[in-house]
Chains A and B, each alone.
Chain A
Amino acid sequence: MEVFRRNHLNENQAIRDCQEGRIQGLRVLFDRYKDRVFRTCLRILGDRHAAEDTTHEIFLRVFSKASSFNGRSAFSTWLYRLAVNHSLNALQKERTWGKLRLQDGSIPDDYPASTPPPDQILVETDRLDMLTGFLAALSAEYRAVIVLREIEGLRYREIAEVLEIPEGTVMSRLSRARLELKKVWAMGKGQPGINFAVSPVQMKERKVQNEE
């Protein structure tokens, strides 16, 4: 009986249930959207446990703040917005806790305000897979547009709605992000043993070693 009811509640009903504090609504929305939310968090954060935590927080927020969803945008847009914002906030907090170091092992004095150029950054992230290491080469904002476009398949207009930025900004960020990734891609392509989980700096060093 419970399974039957769950399958037949439509999304609007599920949202209304959440707004009225009924947990079965959250269950419907969770089952429908958990993969998208988790994937988005996972690829922005690059860490499975962090992504699980953040996914939970997002759906808890959906339940507690369902009344703030006014229906002006699609629910999925609102949800993606929560996922991206929570992930970016979590990423910022993780950086604040000293995961970013310069090559000599020191931490910049004005950290996290300073942003050293990419070729001086030794980024240590939890290497979930090659894609994680690859995306780590991007800033958080560029990573978000890449994830929404390449992995979630959103159109420019949808990405603009999620990120609350103009469509032109989406296009320029996406363009720059891809060109940035292409540099890393081209450096590693075809080289035996190259692991995209290493930093761009290490890849450069390995390239030099191979050439010597």
Chain B
Amino acid sequence: MRSDSSGKSGCREVKPLLALAPDGELSPIEARSLSIHLDGCAACRQEAFLLSELSEWIRQQALSGPAAPAWESLERRIAFEERVRVPASTHPGPRMGGVGWIARYLVPASALLLLTVSVLSFLQGRKSAGSGEVQLAMPFGAAFGRFLETPGSEDPQALDRFLAGQKAREIPVEELSRKVKFRLFAPERLPGGFRLKKCFLFPEQAEYSLCLRYQKGEEWLAIFQQSPNRPSPFKATSSRENVLGGVPCWRKEVGRSEILQVEPDGSNLAFVARKKSVELEDIVTLIERRGFCMKCRIGAFGQTK
């Protein structure tokens, strides 16, 4: 064994080589230098053993794992991309993967979206300018329950039309953050492969403040943020974190549909409504474990009171 001072220096020098030894790619000089050191250093031999054990463990662990998706799932995705043909620039978060054939629909789709948003803004402006209060035929919860019962409500565009009927307007999430004067985080992806497609802002007096619409193939999933106080939930009265993760969730029935209600510490409510095949248990579990979802924090753009 070498003396302490030279031994320590030698150990420090060979440590990076030690970590690369399992690969068999050291140069002859490096390999020889390492070998000489290991002959006289039990500590580094132990280190080498641990490192090779670690590499082996990683390789073994990697052998077990979920299988890659099947070709059919990619085919469905290709078919969906063909049908949707939404330009990436008009969405708050999701990337459309640069699929070439979407480009030729970019201009007309953008124009349609712009027209839709303009119309909604116009209608909202008219309503707001008149009474300052949004008058709808029935409370949102009841209307939404009725919507879920109608045939064709599984269609994401049907949901968009419903939301438009509730005076919600589509808004990019960045603009939403500026509007509400605090930084809004919205997850781009939910469990089950749902991706954020649209963000809707309700009128200020509405029962709900905003909606994030997610989509997977032709299935939709929506998260609504309820306004805790009238007239506006966006008054900066205190630092708030509206977090869905790590909070109790429970089911509620609305007609024949299931709704998952998530209630943070009483300051705000949000619920997840889903159609079709998404398993609520998975969402509950993953929301509780992952601790992600809508998160708002005062201070990024506006001023606190």
Chain A positions within 8 Å of B, measured between CB atoms, are 23, 26-27, 30-31, 34-35, 37-39, 42-43, 48-50, 52-53, 55-57, 59-61, 63-65, 93-94, 96-99, 101, 107, 109, 124-131, 134, 146, 149-151, 155-156, 171-172, 174-176, 178-179, 181-182, 185-186
CB within 8 Å for A61 and B68 given contacts A56-B73, A146-B58, A151-B62: no
Which chain B positions have C-beta within 8 A of A107? 295, 297
The smallest beta-carbon distance between B268 and chain A, in angstroms, is 16
Which chain B positions have C-beta within 8 A of A49? 189, 191-193
At the interface, yes or no: B195 with Cβ under 8 Å from chain A? Answer: yes
Which chain B positions have C-beta within 8 A of A97? 185-188, 292
Contact B20 A174, beta carbon cutoff 8 Å: yes
The smallest beta-carbon distance between B173 and chain A, in angstroms, is 10
Contact B292 A179, beta carbon cutoff 8 Å: no
CB within 8 Å for A179 and B189 given contacts A57-B97, A185-B50: no
At the interface, yes or no: B32 with Cβ under 8 Å from chain A? Answer: no
Which chain A positions have C-beta within 8 A of B58? 131, 134, 146, 150-151, 181
Residues facing A in B277-303 (CB within 8 A) are 286, 289-292, 295, 297, 299
Please tell me which one of the listed residues B55, B78, B195, B295 contacts residue A98 in the complex, with CB atoms under 8 A apart. Answer: B295
A131–B54 CA distance with the chains assembled, in angstroms: 11
Please tell me which one of the listed residues B23, B65, B73, B99 contacts residue A156 in the complex, with CB atoms under 8 A apart. Answer: B23
A97–B61 CA distance with the chains assembled, in angstroms: 29
Residues facing A in B187-205 (CB within 8 A) are 187-189, 191-193, 195
The smallest beta-carbon distance between B239 and chain A, in angstroms, is 10
Contact A181 B54, beta carbon cutoff 8 Å: yes
At the interface, yes or no: B130 with Cβ under 8 Å from chain A? Answer: no
A124–B74 CA distance with the chains assembled, in angstroms: 29
CB within 8 Å for A61 and B290 given contacts A38-B69, A52-B193, A175-B16: no
Contact A131 B188, beta carbon cutoff 8 Å: no
Contact A50 B62, beta carbon cutoff 8 Å: no
CB within 8 Å for A179 and B195 given contacts A57-B97, A99-B292, A131-B61: no
At the interface, yes or no: B256 with Cβ under 8 Å from chain A? Answer: no
Contact B68 A53, beta carbon cutoff 8 Å: no
Which chain B positions have C-beta within 8 A of A150? 55, 58-59, 62
Chain B positions within 8 Å of A, measured between CB atoms, are 15-17, 19-20, 23, 25, 47, 50-51, 53-55, 57-59, 61-62, 64-69, 71, 73-74, 77-78, 81, 93, 95, 97-101, 185-189, 191-193, 195, 286, 289-292, 295, 297, 299
CB within 8 Å for A50 and B290 given contacts A131-B61, A155-B25, A182-B51: no
The smallest beta-carbon distance between B64 and chain A, in angstroms, is 7
The smallest beta-carbon distance between A19 and chain B, in angstroms, is 12
Which chain B positions have C-beta within 8 A of A26? 74
Which chain B positions have C-beta within 8 A of A178? 19-20, 51, 54-55
The smallest beta-carbon distance between A173 and chain B, in angstroms, is 10
Q: A52-B69, A149-B23 known; 12 other A-B pairs, CB under 8 Å?
A: A34-B71, A35-B67, A38-B69, A52-B193, A61-B98, A64-B97, A97-B186, A98-B187, A107-B297, A171-B20, A175-B15, A178-B55
A45–B15 CA distance with the chains assembled, in angstroms: 29
CB within 8 Å for A186 and B50 given contacts A57-B97, A151-B62: yes
The smallest beta-carbon distance between A42 and chain B, in angstroms, is 6
A43–B58 CA distance with the chains assembled, in angstroms: 11
Contact A185 B54, beta carbon cutoff 8 Å: yes
Please tell me which one of the listed residues B55, B57, B71, B188 contacts residue A27 in the complex, with CB atoms under 8 A apart. Answer: B71
Please tell me which one of the listed residues A38, A101, A175, A176 contacts residue B68 in the complex, with CB atoms under 8 A apart. Answer: A38
CB within 8 Å for A39 and B77 given contacts A34-B69, A61-B97, A61-B98: no
A128–B65 CA distance with the chains assembled, in angstroms: 8
Please tell me which one of the listed residues B17, B68, B187 contacts residue A55 in the complex, with CB atoms under 8 A apart. Answer: B68
